[in-house]
């Protein structure tokens, strides 16, 4: 392949890759980064204990209301702040529309900052 063609292809790829990355970032709410989403996933599948009810892939272990990968929100409007609010506060059995309670912070001892990271991850699952 001619060197000019190779250089042209590299320039073209360089122009496309940043726009794809910027496009992916545009789907996250203001103040949320991909790094937060990645850290939130590690907490979700680890110390946050979220996986115990929601599953390692967040598709739910206790029925359809525990699925976090679709666009259906049972106890929230699906916004990043509301997801964080519900994770922090939990949902009592009486409040639960499905009858399945969620303890505050999923029963874990994660911090407010860690809850925000989990909320970033959960938000990213259903806002593709």
pLDDT per residue as tens digits for the range 45-81:
999 999 999 999 999 998 888 999 998 898 889 999 9
pLDDT band at 10 (very low <50, low <70, confident <90, very high): very low
pTM, rounded to two decimals: 0.78
**Average confidence (pLDDT) over 98-127:** 96
Domain count across the chain: 2
Alpha helices by DSSP H, listed for 27-79, are 34-44, 51-54
Euclidean distance between CA atoms 83 and 119, whole angstroms:
6
CATH code where residue 101 lies: 1.10.760.10
Burial class (CB in 10 A: 0-12, 13-18, 19+), 22: exposed
The pLDDT of residue 21 is 39
State yes or no: pLDDT of 17 exceeds 60.
no
- pLDDT at position 2 is 54
Q: Which of 95, 72, 77, 68 is nearest to 29 (CA)?
A: 77
Domain holding 13, by residue range, is 1-29
């Amino acid at each position: 392949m001619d060197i000019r063609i190779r250089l042209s292809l590299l320039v073209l790829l360089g122009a496309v890759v940043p726009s794809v990355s910027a496009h992916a970032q545009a789907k996250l709410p203001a103040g949320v980064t991909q790094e937060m989403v990645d850290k939130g996933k590690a907490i979700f599948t680890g110390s946050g204990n979220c996986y115990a009810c929601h599953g390692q892939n967040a598709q739910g272990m206790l029925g359809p209301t525990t699925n976090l990968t679709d666009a259906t929100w049972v106890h929230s409007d699906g916004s990043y702040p509301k997801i964080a609010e519900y994770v922090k506060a939990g949902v009592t059995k009486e409040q639960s529309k499905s009858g399945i309670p969620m303890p505050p912070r999923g029963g874990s001892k994660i911090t407010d900052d860690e809850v925000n990271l989990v909320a970033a991850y959960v938000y990213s699952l259903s806002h593709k």
